Amino acid sequence: MSAFWHGYAFDPAYGYSKEALLQIGAPEEPPGFSDYWLRRHERVRLLSADPTVQPVESIHPEWDEFQLTFRTSDDLNLGGWLLTPKHQPVTRGFIVAHGYGGRQAPDHDLGLEGAALMFPCSRGLGLSRGGNIPENPDKHVVHGLPHRDGYVIGGCVEDVWMSVTALLELFPQAEGRTGFVGTSFSGGVGALAMAWEDRLQRGVLKVPSFGHHRLRLGCSTTGSTRALAKYAARHPAVWQDLPFFDAAVAARHIRQPVLVAAALFDPVVPPPAQFAIHNSLGSTGTLFALTAGHFDHPGKDDEEARLRAAVTSHFLPL
């Protein structure tokens, strides 16, 4: 029984207890999975990001704010924001990515001191819209399918790698002290990226998407998961390539410590798909169990405050 009254025609807990969620595994790894991603990463690591920053008028007492642009793969430009501390030197850096709702401004309240905070927009979205990539999430999530090398999610993974390049080109002193924070869409993309990226020392994945495609696309949901499920039903040949973009499979290859905030109730990203990612991490993963994701509920503000404290603590070694 779901923990909340809701108006959905399905159960956003999907009948799983926490104990059952912790038993969910990842799909079998497709042949050539590691070689495919290692080749992509090796190619992207050769690129320069050439970041530029433009000061933005801000009255925030703790942060200087900048508008950011840099180059990514496929000869695209990405936009975003950069925050640097007003009263401390930059000694570490973080990539803070966004969900399919996009981002309208940087987050000044992450509790990450002494850090340069980069808020890039993934290709086709927000300040990185364009390049013939649809911004609508239902269209973005299927863009480029069924071609493995042209699928937009692979490009978004490369955007994470190029974000790290841009961050370290701007702040070389942050090398070895760099982390990633991803939510929903970017949580899944982040798992795919971190599996091969040794320049990221720690990560946080909140209600991450793209885990265990076979399982999640069989769940009734709202949002982009539903759009991808409809596409896969119409084009079954996509299953030759979609397993290469499974965040739960990629999580097996992550060696950095990762905090996963996975929800027990979520109408947008099914909890079993989120837990498949966490469970695949093994000893490198730490779980912060959220009561609900993508859903307003009593106690949400308190839970978010506790999660922010957990994120701050998780990144203290950097």
Residue whose tokens read 């000869």:
75
Residues 97-131: tens digit of each pLDDT: 999 988 999 999 999 999 999 999 999 999 999 88
- Give the alpha-carbon dihedral of 287, 291, 293, 295, to 10 degrees: -170
CA distance 54 to 52: 7
Residue 309 maps to which CATH number?
Answer: 3.40.50.1820
- With cut-offs at 50, 70 and 90, classify the pLDDT of residue 5: confident
- Confirm whether 187 is domain-assigned: yes
Share of the chain above pLDDT 70, in %: 99
User: Mean pLDDT throughout 80-85?
Assistant: 98
- Confirm whether 283 is domain-assigned: yes
Give the gyration radius of the chain's Cα atoms.
Answer: 18
Q: Which two tokens stand for residue 66?
A: 């900048």
- Confirm whether 5 is domain-assigned: no
Res 43 pLDDT > 60: yes
- With cut-offs at 50, 70 and 90, classify the pLDDT of residue 18: very high
The CA angle 305-171-207, to the nearest 5 degrees, is 30
Read off the amino acid at residue 39.
Answer: R
CB 138 within 8 A of CB 100: no
- Confirm whether 242 is domain-assigned: yes
- Confirm whether 291 is domain-assigned: yes
The pLDDT of residue 38 is 98
Residues 177-195: tens digit of each pLDDT: 999 999 999 999 999 999 9
Residue whose tokens read 């992550």:
254
CA distance 315 to 311: 6
- With cut-offs at 50, 70 and 90, classify the pLDDT of residue 7: confident
CA distance 160 to 168: 13
Closest CA to 183 of 280, 305, 268: 268
Domain limits for position 38: 18-313
- With cut-offs at 50, 70 and 90, classify the pLDDT of residue 2: low
- Confirm whether 168 is domain-assigned: yes
The pLDDT of residue 86 is 95
Write the CB contacts of 14 (distance below 8 Å, at least 6 apart in sequence): 219, 270, 271, 272
Average pLDDT taken over every residue of the chain: 96
How many domains is the chain built from?
A: 1
The pLDDT of residue 237 is 95
Taking 3-state DSSP, the helix, strand and coil percentages for the chain, each rounded to the nearest 5, stand at 35, 20, 45
- Confirm whether 7 is domain-assigned: no
Q: What is the pTM of this model?
A: 0.97
- Confirm whether 69 is domain-assigned: yes
DSSP symbols for 293-307: SSS--TTHHHHHHHH
- With cut-offs at 50, 70 and 90, classify the pLDDT of residue 151: very high
